[in-house]
Amino acid sequence: MKKNGIINSELSKVIAEMGHKNSLVVADCGLPIPQAVKRIDLSVTKGYPKFLKILKGVLDDLVVEKAILAAEIKEKSPELEAEIIALLPNIEIEYIAHKEFKKETNNSRAVVRSGEIIPYANIILISGVDF
């Protein structure tokens, strides 16, 4: 049994296999997930588990050099945006239209689905290196 970090075997494996510039999506329960992209469905009920809890766990295990958010989060969920920004000090944040965000998920190693129902609770994490 793992001593620390993510204990979900699928998520742990994806993070361990990521290289520089690979992307991983942490999503709300409504984001469409492309058929060709690995789905790691952690959702149990609407609202559980929370997007931020999953994001914090991923950030503890993954080196991130950039994050991408839907521009619509600024207007529709500003409190969530502020919490996300607080978790990503010194990390570049890019904003793109939600329509483009959905297209960009096609390039991800996996989409981690939460039970979150807050609008635009989605993020694309671009992996970095720790050396």
Give the type of residue at 72.
E
- What range does the domain containing 69 cover? 20-127
- For the chain, the domain total comes to 1
Q: Is residue 37 part of a domain?
A: yes
Task: Tell me which residue has tokens 């997007």.
Answer: 51
Per-residue pLDDT tens digits for 8-47: 999 999 999 999 999 999 999 999 999 999 999 999 999 9
Give the type of residue at 14.
V
Q: Is residue 2 part of a domain?
A: no
Decide: residue 69, CB within 10 A, 0-12 exposed, 13-18 middle, 19+ buried.
buried
Q: Is residue 8 part of a domain?
A: no
In whole angstroms, how far apart are CA 117 and each of 25, 29, 34, 120, 128? 16, 6, 19, 9, 29
- Please state the φ and ψ torsions of residue 67, each to the nearest 5 degrees: -130, 145
Q: Which residues are catalytic?
A: 20
Q: Is 121 annotated as a binding residue?
A: yes
- Residue 41's pLDDT is 98
Give the type of residue at 89.
P
Q: Is residue 5 part of a domain?
A: no
pLDDT of 98 > 90? The answer is yes
Q: What CATH number is associated with residue 101? A: 3.40.1650.10
- Residue 1's pLDDT is 81
Task: Tell me which residue has tokens 């944040």.
Answer: 93
Q: What gap in Å lies between CA 74 and CA 9, rounded to an integer?
A: 33
Q: Is 130 annotated as a binding residue?
A: no
- Residue 125's pLDDT is 98
Per-residue pLDDT tens digits for 55-83: 999 999 999 999 999 999 999 999 999 99
